Structure 1
Amino acid sequence: MKAAETGPAAPFRHTPYDGSKKPFTIGLEPVATEHWFDPDGNLARHLARKAELIASRRDVVFRAEPGTEAAQEETLRLLASHLPATHPDLYGLTGPGLSVTGSTVTVALEADEPALLRASRLVQDDLVLMRKGADGYRIAAASLCFPSSWSLAEKVSRPMSVIHENVPGYAGRMGQTVDRIFDNLRDGQIIGRYNWSIYDDDDLHHPEAKQLTPQVGTVDGSLLAALFVRVERQTLRRLPASGDILFTIKIHQDPLMLLATHPEGRQLAAGLAAQLRAMEPAQLAYKGLTGHRDRLASDLESLAAS
């Protein structure tokens, strides 16, 4: 994990497609407490975009079941304690609130706005509270401004089995393993994983199903010039008082064309091409790459060989 940054965000901060991770696997690993959140040079820009979405589409980006108020408050207090201690260059207590350096954001610790929504205004990550019920863990509350092709309205209050019903390989052993991991997550323990996907724009707010447009890359014949690799950095941490699990999701987006000038661009291109070639039809369909896999992999292989 890399330290917090206040300047422009460096590209390819996290690269799970380089061969170090395998797609469509659980891939959880321990996360040190000081690296729970991963602020970078996009912090102010991402927080501003969150504020826009909360103001204009609050019913789309925030949902909470009755009875989650205490867990929401617990989340806010935990972040208010953690962020200034681990990232003092970016966060500071200001009177009754918490301010974010380099932005206009100051979040009150006492306010009428739901506490989970206030907590989400502090970090680039989306924040999701998972609560166990008769059917397993479900989304009980969430501030989800930057979804990667899923709708909060369709998933809130739904159990994990329903949330992931379209994920290839989740039903059965993978889902059972995830349930055990959630049950066994200890207070103070933080675990994390990465996902990647490909999009033809850099919009952070993507609630619609992922599918590249058929004409993408037809202007100059290069797919790499038209596409972005989108990485989700996800963490899980149990809240000590409520027992709920806080699921965090942070988005990193990089234009694939920057691989051509990146010091490790050839290796990264080769790794991404290899993962694309290894995908089964159901996996390609889930990622919206069925009609573009061969051409994209070929373009990446050409870059890797240059």
Structure 2
Amino acid sequence: MSLKALDPQDWIEIDDQFVKYLSQKDTLLKTRHSEVFASLPGTAASQKEVLELLLDHLLKRFPQHYRRHDQRIEAIATHQVWHISDFESAPLDLAGRLVQEDLLLMERSRQGYRLVAASLCFPLRWRLREKLGCPLTQIHSPVPGYSEKLAHPVDSVFNRLKSNHPVWRLNWSIVESPELFFPPENAKPGWETTINCQNAGDKMFLRIERQTLRRLATSGDILFTVRTYVHPLRVLEDNPQMADSLAEIIQHMPVEMQEYKNILPIRQVLLGYLGSIVETGAIANN
């Protein structure tokens, strides 16, 4: 899983895309609320714990970005002001509006940890409503080998996680669009036929998820955050070593995982493009 210890001070990330992300979340929550927010009954107390933890962190860590006025919280850069009392029945809804991360709440059950609430504005090829209430094994059923190889280690991490020792990891995908909100229906059939080594840098996108896991001290539930970054693949032209590493990963990736990550249809063009970056970098260094 490549998990690393996370300094709680670095839990949430804010960058120059802050206004764009929050504005897009606001639009999605106004126009497609049932698709990007959902919660099961009986989870309000745990959701409130998330909101209180997040508010405390944001006001201390990013005082230049947030102000609190009694029961109102303001995102200074976007001029958005929310009344906390308006979200008593769904505190996680407000929490998700405050940050660039998506927030997913996992509760321990007889079947293992299950997804009980989420503010998920930036999914990649999955739908929140189809996963709500499902345990981890079912959520990850499309992942090749998850049940056989990953289910036990993941469950072990969740069971051992301490509230004062959060962890983080990175995940990556190559996608055909820079869209942050990317449910299955946004896929572009046949896009791979338009890709060649000359346009790959602009027509393919590197989508990176910075994921964190943090146990809530009171409820014992686990908050899973996902911060999504999307860049044109040409960003690798400035880092031949990273391009070389990615090419090596793809070359050794099992076919089943290539299919899951939608790499297989673009594999040859992708490797050709990455190889050209490495070759250009080697020539420049000679």
Q: TM-score, normalised by structure 1?
A: 0.86
1:106 to 81, 91, 95: 81
Q: How far does the alpha carbon of each residue in 1:241-292 deviate from its partner, in whole angstroms, 9 at most, with x for none?
A: 11110110010111112333x3xx2122112211111111101000011111
Amino acid at match of 2:56: S
What residue in structure 1 maps to residue 284 of structure 2?
Answer: none
CA distance in 1, matches of 2:75, 2:277: 40
Alignment partner of 1:139 is 2:102: no
What residue in structure 2 maps to residue 115 of structure 1?
Answer: 91
1:177 to 142, 145, 153: 153
The CA deviation at 1:210 is 8.7
Alignment partner of 1:94 is 2:69: yes
CA distance in 2, matches of 1:78, 1:252: 24
CA distance in 1, matches of 2:185, 2:150: 23
CA distance in 1, matches of 2:171, 2:186: 14
Q: Which has the higher helix share?
A: 2
1:256 to 233, 241, 247: 233
Mark the runs of 5 or more structure 2 residues left unpaired by the alignment: 281-286
CA contact (8 A) 1:228 1:255 kept: yes
- Alignment root-mean-square deviation, CA: 1.7
Alignment partner of 1:283 is 2:257: yes
Counterparts in 2 of 1:212 and 1:295: CA distance versus 1, 3 Å:
farther
Q: TM-score, normalised by structure 2?
A: 0.92
Amino acid at match of 1:287: K
- Same amino acid, percent of matched pairs: 35
Amino acid at match of 2:223: L
The CA deviation at 1:128 is 0.6
What residue in structure 2 maps to residue 231 of structure 1?
Answer: 208
The CA deviation at 1:167 is 0.7
Counterparts in 2 of 1:219 and 1:183: CA distance versus 1, 3 Å:
closer
Residue-pair matches, total? 278
Counterparts in 2 of 1:219 and 1:188: CA distance versus 1, 3 Å:
closer
What residue in structure 2 maps to residue 243 of structure 1?
Answer: 220
CA distance in 1, matches of 2:20, 2:58: 18
Q: How far does the alpha carbon of each residue in 1:145-198 deviate from its partner, in whole angstroms, 9 at most, with x for none?
A: 101111111111001110011112211242111111111111222111110001
Amino acid at match of 1:40: D
Amino acid at match of 1:235: T
1:189-200 to 2 correspondences below 5 Å? 189-200=165-176
What residue in structure 2 maps to residue 150 of structure 1?
Answer: 126
CA contact (8 A) 2:176 2:191 kept: no
Task: Give the 3-state SS of the residue equivalent to 1:110 in structure 2.
Answer: helix
Counterparts in 2 of 1:61 and 1:116: CA distance versus 1, 3 Å:
same
Counterparts in 2 of 1:279 and 1:102: CA distance versus 1, 3 Å:
same
Q: How far does the alpha carbon of each residue in 1:204-246 deviate from its partner, in whole angstroms, 9 at most, with x for none?
A: 0112179664344737742222011000000011111111101
Counterparts in 2 of 1:208 and 1:219: CA distance versus 1, 3 Å:
closer
CA distance in 2, matches of 1:272, 1:173: 23
Mark the runs of 5 or more structure 1 residues left unpaired by the alignment: 1-25
Q: How far does the alpha carbon of each residue in 1:99-132 deviate from its partner, in whole angstroms, 9 at most, with x for none?
A: 2231122232221462100000000011111001
